[in-house]
Amino acid sequence: MFDYRNERFYRVFLVSFLIHNLSENRSGRKVLTLEKLELLYFIVNNPMLLKKISNAMDLGSVYGYQQDLYENGYQFSDIKSKSDAIIPFLLLTESKKVRLNDEGMIEALELPDFKSSSEFLDKNISILKKLAALNESKLVSLVSENS
């Protein structure tokens, strides 16, 4: 089976999707830093981790999760050694689609208002929004405890 998670266009799409949907909280305040983007990217690409975190925080069921489809070999140390979210973020920054503001928060400048073609992302967006609203230290703790 082909693992699309390492495909370049998927990585750009996923970073764009996360920034577009998670960069602001309900009140419009910017909440997405580069480190939080990396953590959320890591979580989305590891549905088993998303399920564990969702269960630990009682955030609801993860839609579309099938354990047999995903590798169990990802660990928290993987996120610190290599971030697949950085290159797509830099590509979007160079093309003036996103930027880091003076407070270190990510801002979408010219990202289209799009829906995902992935039911997994669309159906789990409420869980991801709750995770994006957490502070970085809480999110780091959740990822390290559950991976």
Question: DSSP string of 45-94?
Answer: T-HHHHHHHHHHHT--PPTT--GGGS-S---HHHHHH--TTHHHHHHHHH
Among 13-22, 46-55, 57-66, 128-137, where is mean pLDDT lowest? 57-66
Q: Is the pLDDT of residue 2 over 80?
A: no
What proportion of the chain, given as a percentage, has pLDDT over 70?
Answer: 80
Q: Is the pLDDT of residue 17 over 60?
A: yes
Report the candidate in 24, 12, 75 with the shortest Cα–Cα distance to residue 46: 75
pTM above 0.85, yes or no: yes
Q: What is the per-residue pLDDT across 59-114, written as a single tens digit (0 to 9) for each?
A: 999 987 766 555 555 565 566 555 789 999 999 999 999 999 999 999 999 887 76
Q: Which two tokens stand for residue 13?
A: 């799409």
pLDDT class of 136 with cuts at 50, 70, 90:
very high
